[in-house]
Amino acid sequence: MPPLTLTRRELKVVRDLSEFSKPVKQKKALVTLSQLCIHDPDSRAYIAAAGAIAPLVQLLGAGSSADTQERAATALWHLAKEGNADIIAAAGAIPPLVQLLGHGTPADVQNQACALLATLA
């Protein structure tokens, strides 16, 4: 495989994803990134290389909305299928994923958390 060359778009999306003080910008980046992970398998390696895993793991936490948690888990699930499972686990994804399985979490978020946990196993 040739070396990864990140596009300006990929770098901007990951940079915006890390903007925890700017939730609107962060949400837009999360939507873009999750759509890329779902619909563009070729972009997954670039997204992981750009540093998206750590901010995605942070978005799984209790301070995020259910929609944000589901989108983050979905993106991470696609990245895990591309050989990033160990990196995702090392970034601390397992504890918040287990919390998402608890009472009061919407079923769609629980399902995505369960799918990601199974992929990380």
Q: In whole numbers, what is the pLDDT of the chain averaged over residues?
A: 89
- Report pLDDT for 6: 60
Contact status, residue 94 vs residue 120, Cβ threshold 8 Å? yes
Overall pTM > 0.85: yes
- Residue 11: pLDDT band by 50, 70, 90 thresholds? confident
**C-alpha dist (Å) from residue 99 to 64, 68, 113, 121:** 13, 15, 9, 16
pLDDT digits (tens, 9 = 90+) for 30-56: 998 898 889 888 888 888 988 999 999
